[in-house]
Amino acid sequence: MTLRLDDAEAAALRKRADLEERSMQDVARAAIREYVEQHSRSDLIDGILDRELPRYAEALEQLGK
C-alpha cells in the first residue's frame, strides 16, 4: 500500500512526528489503528442498539413521560 498525502497533510504529519520524536510511519500507523478501533467500536454499539432498543421501546417511552 502506498499512502499519498498532499503537502499540508505531509507537513502536519511531519510536525506531529517531530514533536513525538517518532517516525512519520509510526504516527500514521497509530492514527490508522485508532481510527479503525474507534469506528469498529461504534459499529458494534450501533448494532447492539439496533437489536436491543426495540425490546425496551415501551419502557423507554414510559420513562420519557
Q: Answer yes or no: is pLDDT of 1 > 90.
A: no
- What pLDDT does 34 receive? 93
- What pLDDT does 25 receive? 96
- The stretches of 1-65 forming alpha helices (DSSP H) are 7-20, 24-52, 57-63
Q: Specify the 3-state DSSP secondary structure of 42.
A: helix
pLDDT tens-digit series, residues 5-50: 999 999 999 999 999 999 999 999 999 999 998 888 888 888 888 8
Are the C-beta atoms of residues 60 and 53 closer than 8 Å to each other?
yes
- What pLDDT does 7 receive? 98
- Rounded to 5 degrees, what are φ and ψ at 15? -60, -45
